[in-house]
């Protein structure tokens, strides 16, 4: 548990049968948001196929795939109660902007659609594959995920934004954990508040000619300092095999798909 009594979710800390009984009674629907802009459409098929095997099995799930090319999305057969919903988005030139604008789009859709269609939102990177169980143990008002690269480090070494001119600034004696930009969520209301606040902070920084060091992740970390998550996911929920297999990790539930950075980041076809 954190000092504010939020559970940190590791294998062995929860009983999924009890949780399932509770969430099934409530007949919850889960919205997953992921972005596939420009070349990242190549990740969609594996992402959805593996999600069908491991993500919220037995629940109603809406996959909201934000993309500049809805017609290029693959057809994947989905289990009953699960839908793939393409959402058209602009393709921003700078990749930092592609990543950061996720906050704006999620906050906008929260108001217009998510509030009417789902109970919880799970907002995640798409260059990933599901490799083991991810279920209702993650659901709560507001959750973040420990960044796999720094979960064992001390506060002073976190790569928070340290320039006081930025809205994402966190002083060296504040902050609890370093959270990953690629896995957060909660109720529609809480995700709406988070994404709206992060987007507004980014727009304020843009006006002042500054952009936080780790883009949307920096603003997310700032938000979590002052709005504590009610659950925290361990790095089981966001891992990269490039970081090996430490004994503390009993399960690797959601894994980075190795990408050729040079090719995926170039503007060539
Ligand atoms: C460098 O050239 C790029 S392109 C960095 C991110 C890019 C990108 C990201 C993109 O071209 N299209 C896109 O849809 N995204 C979305 O932003 C996608 O959902 C991706 O998972 C998310 C975050 O980017 P990332 O996964 O590349 O970030 P890292 O390397 O931190 O996992
Ligand atoms: Mn990623």
Confirm or reject: Cβ of 100 under 6 Å from ligand 1.
no
**Ligand that lies nearest to the alpha carbon of residue 43, given by its number in the listed order:** 1
pLDDT of residue 259: 87
Name all domains of the chain by residue range, CATH numbers in brackets: 8-257 (3.90.550.10)
Q: Please list all protein residues whose beta carbon sits less than 5 angstroms from ligand 2, which is an ion.
A: 125, 127
Which range, of 67-71, 255-259, 260-264, averages the lowest pLDDT? 260-264
Average pLDDT over residues 31-54: 98
Q: Which of 137, 161, 211, 217 is catalytic?
A: 217
CB 56 within 8 A of CB 84: no
Average pLDDT over residues 69-87: 97
* Cα(22) to centroid(ligand 2), Å: 32
Confirm or reject: Cβ of 125 under 6 Å from ligand 1.
yes
Using a 10 angstrom Cβ sphere, with 0-12 exposed, 13-18 middle and 19 or more buried, the burial of residue 86 is middle
CB 138 within 8 A of CB 266: no
Confirm or reject: Cβ of 40 under 6 Å from ligand 1.
yes
Confirm or reject: Cβ of 34 under 6 Å from ligand 1.
yes
Rg (CA), the chain: 18
Taking 80 as the threshold, does the pLDDT of residue 173 lie above it? Answer: yes
Q: Which residues contact 196 (CB under 8 A, 6 or more apart)?
A: 103, 107
Confirm or reject: Cβ of 148 under 6 Å from ligand 1.
no
* Cα(155) to centroid(ligand 2), Å: 23
Model confidence pLDDT, tens digit, residues 205-244: 999 999 999 999 999 999 999 999 999 999 999 999 999 9
**Ligand that lies nearest to the alpha carbon of residue 102, given by its number in the listed order:** 1
pTM here? 0.97
CB 70 within 8 A of CB 88: yes
CB 146 within 8 A of CB 232: yes
CB 71 within 8 A of CB 86: no
* Cα(183) to centroid(ligand 2), Å: 10
Confirm or reject: Cβ of 126 under 6 Å from ligand 1.
yes
pLDDT of residue 267: 56
Distances (CA, A) of 148 to 27, 106, 202: 32, 24, 24
d(CA 97, CA 91): 9
pLDDT of residue 269: 43
d(CA 114, CA 146): 25
DSSP state of 98: H
State which of 63, 92, 93, 99 you would mutate to test the pocket of ligand 1, scoring each by most atoms of that ligand within 8 A of its C-beta.
99
Model confidence pLDDT, tens digit, residues 110-163: 999 999 999 999 999 999 999 999 999 999 999 999 999 988 888 889 999 999
Is 217 noted as a catalytic residue in this protein? yes
Confirm or reject: Cβ of 169 under 6 Å from ligand 1.
no
In this structure, the residue with its CA closest to atom 4 of ligand 1 is: 95
Sheet holding 120-124, edge to edge: 8-9, 231-233, 142-145, 183-187, 120-124, 29-36, 60-67, 82-88
């Amino acid at each position: 548990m954190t000092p504010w009594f939020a559970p940190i979710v590791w294998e062995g800390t929860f009983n999924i049968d009890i949780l399932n009984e509770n969430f099934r009674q409530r007949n919850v629907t889960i919205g997953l948001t992921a972005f596939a802009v420009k070349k990242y459409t190549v990740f969609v098929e594996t992402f959805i196929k593996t999600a069908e095997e491991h993500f919220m099995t037995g629940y109603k799930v809406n996959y909201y795939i934000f993309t500049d090319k809805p017609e290029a999305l693959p057809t994947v057969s989905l289990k009953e109660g699960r839908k793939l919903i393409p959402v058209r988005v602009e393709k921003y030139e700078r990749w930092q902007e592609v990543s950061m604008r996720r906050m704006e789009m999620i906050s906008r859709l929260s108001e217009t659609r998510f509030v009417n269609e789902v109970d919880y939102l799970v907002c995640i990177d798409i260059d990933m594959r599901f490799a083991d169980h991810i279920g209702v143990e993650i659901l709560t008002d507001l959750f973040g995920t420990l960044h796999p690269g720094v979960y064992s480090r001390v506060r002073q070494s976190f790569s928070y934004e340290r320039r006081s001119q930025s809205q994402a600034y966190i002083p060296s004696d504040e902050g609890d954990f370093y959270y990953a930009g690629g896995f957060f969520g909660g109720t529609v209301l809480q995700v709406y508040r988070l994404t709206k606040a992060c987007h507004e902070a980014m727009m304020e920084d843009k006006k002042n000619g500054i952009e936080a060091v780790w883009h949307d992740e920096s603003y997310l970390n700032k938000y979590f300092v002052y709005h504590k998550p009610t659950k925290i996911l361990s790095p089981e929920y966001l891992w990269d095999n490039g970081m090996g297999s430490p004994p503390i990790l009993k399960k690797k539930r959601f894994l980075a798909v190795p990408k050729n950075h040079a090719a995926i980041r170039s503007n060539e076809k």
